[in-house]
Amino acid sequence: MDKSAARKRLEELRREIHRHNWLYHTLDAPEISDAEFDALMRQLLELEEKFPELVTPDSPSQRVGGPLLEGFAQVVHPTPMLSLDNAFAPEDLRAFAQRLHRLLGVRPTYVVEPKIDGLAVALEYQDGVFVRGATRGDGSVGEDITANLRTIRSLPLRLKEPVSIRVRGEAFMPIPAFEALNRLREEQGQPLFANPRNAAAGTLRQLDPRVAASRRLDLFVYGLEQAREHGDSHWQVMNWLEELGFKVNPLRRRFGDIEEVIAYVEAWRVKRAELPYAIDGMVIKVDDLELQERAGSTVKSPRWAMAWKFPAEQARTRILDITLNVGRTGAITPTAELEPVRLAGTTVSRASLHNEDYIRDKDIRIGDLVLVQKAGDIIPEIVAPLKDKRDGSERIWQPPDKCPACGSRSVRVEGEAVRRCPNPGCPAQIRERVIHYASRGAMDIEGLGPAVVDALFKAGLIRDAADLYALRAEEVAQLERMGEKSAAKLIAAIEASKQRPLERLLFALGIRFVGAKAARLLAERFGSIDALQAAGIEELTAVPEIGEKIAQSVVRELADPDMRRLIQRLQQAGVNTVQPRRAGGGPLAGKTFVLTGTLESMTRDEAKARIEELGGRVAGSVSARTDCVVAGAKAGSKLEKALQLGIQVLSEEEFLEIIRQ
Ligand code: IVH
């Protein structure tokens, strides 16, 4: 096929794929099977591979996520992105209607639509092609998240008419996608997202567009800038946007009377649990665009719109039991095991009870019917027991006098709300300590979540964090739900954790009161674990922001014989116990490196750690901002690009020379 034939065929394929994509993701009415769709996609990709110069930004192939970004550029919003005033009661809406009547001299017609609980985005189209998308930011300046937005299947990359417009909408994560994502994160030992909104925001604001592509985000548009140039009413404009290919919420309705508006929004307070996406209220807008303009806006919000906020959703269920969890510091916390109930789109079966005073003050009993609510967290809270529903079979709960895991006598320190297991050798504490050791902000060992930690303990392969470094891939591969491949990956991740800076290790050790920040301050001041172990209270409290409480805890815990043994074994295993010099100070300060190909003398992680130690940084892709590319064996496209851009290229030997200081 020659180039002009390819161009023609590509155009046909793109048109067809866009249409099927729209039928599937926007209209929910596919005409072809997934296999047929995949076949079209394959044809497109093959042809684009043969003619890379014919790839366009609006090609469906661009949804898979482009190269790693170095940061987000700023985008100035030509018209500011305002927020909405809130109404919580019917009277607030009646007052809103009266205000508008007084202001405009007429009673306006309203459009009511769901208030999607996601992330506001501004989308720009030029001649029908999606060219840029940004977050709201502070309302005037947002961040350019085009590459991530492109991965959203319901966002049209090309409109049905070649118009140049700016639209606004809400990107969100549907509840089933949110639940699946959190399940996966739990398995991998990563922190969970508290709600679909955080998950959507976290997805759109991270730098690897392939991650965004792998998470199923969705989008509803709800506004058009300079709308009056395209219609007389919001209703009309929304219908037009729908015709152009956007997904507009199908629950939008038009009403002539505020009482009808109130009835409609009230109905959705109850029915919202049926929706596959989270909504936190309804939005009421004046329909007529001329009236909108006359009503105008304050600096913060338009006078022609109002958000009706739903109260925190509550549900009734029964407490089946109260169970105990022992944390890594020995804190024993009670949790209510609930009869599973649907709440705010997810099924809840547990509620945090915090501590024994909380249970006593609220008079919560096992067997009680209770009211639970979600306050933005995954774990809901108990509002109150329904005391008049008791039948006498409920049991008053007694705080445990023994640790449920090791049987040691539990202690409650004067002035503290929590009860603790005082035995540092308690298996439950050790388990939690290993999970913490491997977690994100700590040693960041990918793939080592609670399930794998449990399996390792059960198989007798580890007794503490230091044992991780003696694991062999063959033994790990024997564990349930592990294969050779994931075992090898886990071993590599454990190996890579040896290079973490001291601040991570200090945090990972789980010394009481030493959070990520205190760990950094201590690591930077003392430089090595040996120096820190030798430090006394006075030296510690001399560090700004380190108080008596932290200092005492550090001295006490680092002097503990078990802790000393653990640290010694970690050192013997090759775990780094020094803090790299701070970026900005080192000989490579301000320099950006890109690593490509295979290095013989070290792993990529080691090379990266060394560069960072010397003050430089490592980026994932080559750009004009790259200072230096280190090319190992079999270097490919990154090396080519570096040569094209005239960027300095180092061989492995030259690189070793530089870092040997
Ligand atoms: S209209 C001038 N309509 O709610 C303000 N907003 O505080 C235009 N939102 O940040 C907003 N669904 O992200 C509008 N159907 C909807 C919405 C909606 C969700 C969000 C929006 C905004 C916030 C308002």
pLDDT at 611: 85
Q: Which residues pair with 508 in a beta bridge?
A: none
Q: What single string gives the DSSP state of each residue in 233-264? A: BHHHHHHHHHHHT----TT-EEESSHHHHHHH
Residue 3, SS3? Answer: helix
pLDDT at 582: 63
Alpha carbon distance 455, 435 (integer Å): 12
Cα 122 to averaged position of ligand 1 atoms, centre (Å)? 11
CB 283 less than 6 A from any atom of ligand 1: yes
For residue 217, CA distances in Å to 51, 249, 251 come to 30, 15, 19
Per-residue three-class SS string for 510-543: CCCCCCHHHHHHHHHHHCEHHHHHHCCHHHHHCC
Residue 266 Rama label (left phi>0; alpha psi -120 to 50; beta): alpha
Confidence check: pLDDT of 66 > 90:
no
- Pick the residue whose CA is nearest to atom 3 on ligand 1: 222
pLDDT at 584: 53
% of the chain surpassing 70 pLDDT: 98
CB 304 less than 6 A from any atom of ligand 1: no
CB 367 less than 6 A from any atom of ligand 1: no
CB 115 less than 6 A from any atom of ligand 1: yes
pLDDT at 437: 96
Closest Cα partner for 570 from 500, 516, 520? 500
Compute and round to an integer the Cα radius of gyration of the chain. Answer: 29
pLDDT at 31: 94
Atom of ligand 1 nearest to the CA of 114: 15
Tokens describing residue 99: 């205000």
Confidence check: pLDDT of 32 > 90:
yes
Name the H helices within 162-257: 175-187, 196-204, 209-214, 234-244
- In sign, the C-alpha dihedral spanning 335, 336, 342, 347 is positive
Alpha carbon distance 498, 492 (integer Å): 10
Supply the DSSP symbol for 228: G
Q: Which residues pair with 275 in a beta bridge?
A: none
Measured in whole angstroms, how far is the alpha carbon of residue 371 from the centre of its chain? 29
Longest C-alpha distance within the chain, in Å?
84
Out of 115, 249, 297, give the residue to mutate to test ligand 1, the one with the largest number of ligand atoms within 8 Å of its CB: 115
Cα 547 to averaged position of ligand 1 atoms, centre (Å)? 44
Residue 486, SS3? Answer: helix
pLDDT at 431: 95
- Pick the residue whose CA is nearest to atom 12 on ligand 1: 115
% of the chain surpassing 90 pLDDT: 70
Which domains occur in the chain, in start order?
A: 3-55 (1.10.287.610), 86-309 (3.30.470.30), 315-396 (2.40.50.140), 427-499 (1.10.150.20), 502-572 (1.10.150.20), 592-660 (3.40.50.10190)
Cα 115 to averaged position of ligand 1 atoms, centre (Å)? 6
Residue 376 Rama label (left phi>0; alpha psi -120 to 50; beta): left
Q: Check if the beta carbon of residue 606 is closer than 8 Å to that of residue 573.
A: no
Out of 116, 221, 279, give the residue to mutate to test ligand 1, the one with the largest number of ligand atoms within 8 Å of its CB: 116
Instruction: State the virtual CA torsion across 40, 180, 220, 195 in degrees, nearest 10.
Output: -160
Confidence check: pLDDT of 403 > 60:
yes
Confidence check: pLDDT of 586 > 70:
no
Closest Cα partner for 335 from 319, 349, 351, 320? 351
- Pick 580 or 499 by higher pLDDT: 499
Closest Cα partner for 557 from 387, 414, 424? 424
Q: Indicate the average pLDDT of the chain.
A: 91
For residue 278, CA distances in Å to 105, 202, 531 come to 36, 16, 51
- State the pairing for strand pair 628-631/592-596: parallel
Tokens describing residue 643: 């040569």
CB 84 less than 6 A from any atom of ligand 1: yes
Cα 165 to averaged position of ligand 1 atoms, centre (Å)? 18
Q: What are phi and psi of 396, to 5 degrees?
A: -75, 135
Q: Average pLDDT for residues 457-479, to the nearest whole number?
A: 95
- Pick the residue whose CA is nearest to atom 9 on ligand 1: 115
- Pick the residue whose CA is nearest to atom 22 on ligand 1: 83
Q: Average pLDDT for residues 241-258, to the nearest whole number?
A: 97
CB 252 less than 6 A from any atom of ligand 1: no
CB 419 less than 6 A from any atom of ligand 1: no
Confidence check: pLDDT of 194 > 90:
no
With tokens 């949110």, the residue in question is: 178
Q: Is 115 a catalytic residue?
A: yes
Cα 82 to averaged position of ligand 1 atoms, centre (Å)? 8
CB 120 less than 6 A from any atom of ligand 1: yes
CB 302 less than 6 A from any atom of ligand 1: yes
pLDDT at 345: 66
Q: How many CB atoms neighbour CB 46 within 10 A?
A: 9
Alpha carbon distance 84, 77 (integer Å): 17
Closest Cα partner for 60 from 120, 128, 150? 150
CB 116 less than 6 A from any atom of ligand 1: yes
CB 222 less than 6 A from any atom of ligand 1: yes
Q: Check if the beta carbon of residue 142 is closer than 8 Å to that of residue 285.
A: no
CB 223 less than 6 A from any atom of ligand 1: yes
Q: What are phi and psi of 215, to 5 degrees?
A: -105, 130
Q: Check if the beta carbon of residue 173 is closer than 8 Å to that of residue 182.
A: no
Atom of ligand 1 nearest to the CA of 84: 7
- In sign, the C-alpha dihedral spanning 279, 285, 289, 295 is negative
pLDDT at 489: 94
Range in 63-72, 115-124, 153-162, 534-543 the model is least confident about: 63-72
- pLDDT tens string 483-539: 899 999 999 999 999 999 999 999 999 998 999 889 988 998 899 999 999 999 999
Confidence check: pLDDT of 118 > 80:
yes
Out of 170, 197, 220, 268, give the residue to mutate to test ligand 1, the one with the largest number of ligand atoms within 8 Å of its CB: 170
The catalytic position among 115, 285, 374, 591 is 115
Alpha carbon distance 200, 610 (integer Å): 34
Cα 225 to averaged position of ligand 1 atoms, centre (Å)? 13
CB 82 less than 6 A from any atom of ligand 1: yes
- Pick the residue whose CA is nearest to atom 17 on ligand 1: 115
Name the H helices within 280-372: 289-295, 356-362
Out of 79, 81, 82, 84, give the residue to mutate to test ligand 1, the one with the largest number of ligand atoms within 8 Å of its CB: 84
Cα 419 to averaged position of ligand 1 atoms, centre (Å)? 45
Atom of ligand 1 nearest to the CA of 223: 1
Q: How many CB atoms neighbour CB 318 within 10 A?
A: 17
Listed in sequence order, the residues at least 6 apart from 540 whose beta carbon sits closer than 8 Å to its beta carbon are 522, 546, 550, 551, 554, 555
- Pick the residue whose CA is nearest to atom 21 on ligand 1: 120
Alpha carbon distance 203, 217 (integer Å): 9
Tokens describing residue 174: 């549907």
pLDDT at 126: 97
Listed in sequence order, the residues at least 6 apart from 517 whose beta carbon sits closer than 8 Å to its beta carbon are 545
- Pick the residue whose CA is nearest to atom 2 on ligand 1: 82
Tally the C-alpha atoms within 13 A of residue 292's C-alpha that lie toward its C-beta.
24
Q: What single string gives the DSSP state of each residue in 397-433? A: ----SB-TTT-PBPB--TT-S-EE---TT-HHHHHHH
Out of 86, 172, 222, 297, give the residue to mutate to test ligand 1, the one with the largest number of ligand atoms within 8 Å of its CB: 222
Closest Cα partner for 628 from 643, 610, 609? 643
pLDDT at 377: 56
Atom of ligand 1 nearest to the CA of 301: 2
- State the pairing for strand pair 628-631/648-650: parallel
CB 192 less than 6 A from any atom of ligand 1: no
Confidence check: pLDDT of 104 > 90:
yes
Confidence check: pLDDT of 296 > 60:
yes
Q: Which residues pair with 351 in a beta bridge?
A: 336
Alpha carbon distance 192, 186 (integer Å): 7
